[in-house]
Chain A
Amino acid sequence: MKLVRTDGTLCVFRLGQRERDLFTQVLRRHPLVPAGYHRFTRAGATADDPANQALLDEAMAGHRAEHQEQVEGLLNDPSRLASDERGCRLTLSREDMEWLLQVLNDVRVGSWLKAGRPDPDGKTTPKITAANAMFFALIEAAGHFEAALLDAL
């Protein structure tokens, strides 16, 4: 995923064929972070913590639904994702890049959870099995696209 042009408002990226397929597959995995994963508080902040948690869960469900619509919109919009024989040209506004980062990181964090929360600095690393190998790959793939977007911002 290479940035080929930017005018400060729009960024144009070029993706090869395999990269385009991988990008599409990563986006199709969204959402991966399970509902209820995020907690409002750890130690207890107010007497209304359960209500605040419910509010948070509701807000996150709304964000997930909105992101799913945005993903579908992007994947079906030839003016932004234009495929050709060499791969595709991806044209994104700053706003697009921001929600795309959130979507990609949902896939990265969700894959990390499903892979057993591997920690490169930790003492224990989950064993890679046929069942979780795909999630290790998704962590790396989502991170690759995130890094490309962050470099362009």
Chain B
Amino acid sequence: MPSTGTPVVMPDLEQDQAVRSKDALDPGYLVICWNDPVNLMTYVTHVFQMVFGWPRPKAEQHMLQVHRQGKSVLIRETLERAEFYVHQLHKYNLHATVERDKG
């Protein structure tokens, strides 16, 4: 009776192909922050500085746009990056969404 040998696992020689949809690479997604009367203006400015690494004047400009116009387009990115940013904004409990740029 032949002995049972240890199975040999051969490495997968086929090259993995990263399958990324066209959508994932399309920089046509907007991260929008919507006005929320509860968030402090200084807090929103701080969050924009932390999440996007913006200097204070740019962060304040977007914060004021949110406050006065009800929303601000913060950045136009690929879907993957837009998702990342919106998750970061949600961690701070800002009201933010990803929208398709139809412009």
Q: Taking the complex as formed, is B63 at the interface, i.e. its CB lies under 8 A from any CB of chain A? A: no
Residues 38-82 (chain A) with a chain B CB within 8 angstroms: 38-47, 52, 55-56, 59-60, 63
Size class of B's contact patch? 20 to 34
Q: Chain B 6-40, CB within 8 Å of chain A: the 1/0 string?
A: 00000000000000000100000100100011111
CA distance A122 to B82 in the complex (A): 31
Size class of A's contact patch? 35 or more
Give me the interface of B with A, judged by CB distance under 8 Å: 23, 29, 32, 36-40, 42-43, 46, 50, 79, 82-83, 86-87, 90-93, 95-100
In the assembled complex, 14 residue pairs joining A and B whose CB atoms fall closer than 8 Å, in A order, are A41-B97, A41-B99, A42-B99, A45-B82, A45-B99, A46-B100, A47-B23, A56-B87, A60-B90, A108-B38, A109-B39, A117-B38, A119-B37, A150-B40
